[in-house]
């Protein structure tokens, strides 16, 4: 089931939404952005809980913009799970099936199959209030899937769990989604979660789409300063184009000259921003490679599998992430280098 939002607008006294995007059949699309940016409101518009002021919503090219929620055949998992505390696991999962008039025999078979799918077999008679947070999250997911929805909507379903359990359950969600091949819209403010789960990410800021694309593009090829900053740690330098042939672009800046593999011809003299992720930076004792500048080490953070080094350039502070330990010392002057294909250019320089 494909999903398409075209020109969806919703105005509030102090906030407005103006959003368009699409999810292809069977993919996980994540709405990613900070708290208050409009992610959950957009999800509720898709579900039919909120009616848009303008625009249209299509499921498989069928206009459902003004259909009530129960006629859209969507499954929804809330942030707090919203399980019924007075019901056992079976009754929670079967709730929607009863509403749809399923027979007792069919309900029992469906609940049993779903409990195997979420890897909680024989949990039918458990009291939901006695389950762990991770188990409750799985039951909420099974309840949403029970009536065979065309689209699954998940509103920050892992936000109440600890970091280790979040990683475990996001893998389970992806496994279940892949097994069922159900189109899924997932809401989160967690960048790592979005990158790990998604076929497509829609980055939302202040009610509008900043960028939509694959996890790779969002992380490595951001189109705006907001996306570059919000999705992971980044380094940026204001620069000016001195040459561009549609394959390599030459830049000059107060920190020096740089070469970027950039598949677009830019006008000479254009103001841009050089962008490079910490893990793409190399720190060496000496040497002269392309895109090399002298820097001074001002801090270390050892993280077990990697070491984060804070570096002082002439006018900027850079972060480099090296895997393993480091033999450098604070105060040491070293060389910072990165390859032309490991950096990027932001053309949108407003407020940079």
Give the model's pLDDT for residue 287: 72
| Listed range (70-79, 246-255, 295-304, 322-331) with the worst mean pLDDT | 322-331
Task: Give burial (CB, 10 Å; 0-12/13-18/19+) of 162.
Answer: exposed
Classify domain 3-229 at the CATH topology level. Rossmann fold (3.40.50)
Residue 350 has pLDDT above 60, yes or no: no
CA 6-12-15 angle, 5° bins: 80
User: What percent of the chain is modeled with pLDDT above 90?
Assistant: 84
Give residue-wise pLDDT tens across range 58-108. Answer: 999 999 999 999 899 999 998 887 899 999 999 999 998 998 889 999 999
Give the model's pLDDT for residue 349: 61
The domain locations on the chain are: 3-229, 233-346
Q: Using 50, 70 and 90 to split pLDDT, how confident is the model at 163? A: confident
pLDDT, average across residues 236-255: 95
Residue 159 has pLDDT above 90, yes or no: no
Cα(77)–Cα(136) distance, rounded to whole angstroms? 11
Residue 211 has pLDDT above 60, yes or no: yes
Cα(200)–Cα(203) distance, rounded to whole angstroms? 10
Residue 172 has pLDDT above 80, yes or no: yes
The per-residue pLDDT of the chain, averaged, comes to 93
Cα(214)–Cα(279) distance, rounded to whole angstroms? 19
**Token pair recorded at residue 257:** 């000259």
Classify domain 233-346 at the CATH topology level. OB fold (Dihydrolipoamide Acetyltransferase, E2P) (2.40.50)
pLDDT, average across residues 166-180: 92
pTM, to two decimals: 0.91
Give residue-wise pLDDT tens across range 10-35. Answer: 999 999 999 999 999 999 999 999 99
CA distances for 200 relative to 144, 191, 218, 264, 331, angstroms: 22, 13, 9, 23, 42
Residue 351 has pLDDT above 60, yes or no: no
**Going by C-beta distance under 8 Å and a sequence separation of 6 or more, which residues neighbour residue 108?**
none
């Amino acid at each position: 089931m494909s999903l398409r939002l075209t020109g969806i607008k919703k105005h509030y006294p102090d906030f407005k939404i103006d959003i368009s995007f699409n999810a292809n059949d069977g993919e996980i699309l994540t709405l990613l952005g900070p708290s208050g940016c409009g992610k959950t409101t957009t999800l509720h518009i898709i579900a039919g809980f909120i009616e848009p002021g303008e625009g249209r919503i299509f499921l498989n090219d069928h206009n459902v913009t003004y259909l009530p929620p129960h006629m859209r055949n969507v499954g929804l998992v809330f942030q707090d799970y919203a399980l019924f505390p007075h019901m056992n696991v079976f009754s929670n999962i079967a709730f929607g099936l009863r509403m749809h008039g399923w027979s007792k025999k069919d309900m029992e078979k469906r609940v049993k199959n779903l409990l195997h799918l979420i890897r909680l077999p024989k949990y039918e008679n458990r009291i939901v209030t006695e389950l762990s947070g991770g188990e409750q999250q799985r039951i909420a997911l099974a309840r949403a899937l029970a009536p065979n929805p065309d689209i699954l909507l998940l509103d920050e379903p892992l936000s109440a769990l600890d970091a280790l359990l979040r990683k475990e359950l996001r893998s389970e969600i992806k496994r279940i989604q892949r097994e069922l091949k159900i189109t899924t819209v997932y809401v989160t403010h967690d960048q790592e979660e979005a990158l790990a789960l998604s076929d497509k990410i829609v980055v939302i800021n202040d009610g509008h789409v900043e960028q939509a694309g694959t996890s790779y593009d969002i992380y490595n090829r951001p189109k705006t300063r907001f996306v570059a900053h919000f999705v992971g740690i980044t380094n940026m330098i204001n620069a000016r184009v001195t040459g561009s042939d549609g394959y390599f672009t030459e830049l000059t800046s107060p920190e020096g000259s740089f070469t970027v593999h950039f598949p677009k011809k830019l006008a000479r003299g254009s103001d841009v921003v050089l962008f490079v992720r910490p893990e793409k930076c190399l720190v060496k004792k000496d040497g002269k490679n392309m895109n090399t500048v002298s820097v001074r080490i001002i801090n270390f953070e050892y993280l077990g599998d990697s070491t984060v080094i804070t570096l002082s350039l002439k006018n900027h502070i850079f972060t480099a992430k090296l895997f393993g330990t480091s033999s450098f010392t604070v105060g040491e002057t070293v060389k910072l280098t990165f390859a032309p294909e490991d950096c990027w250019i932001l053309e949108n320089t407003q407020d940079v």
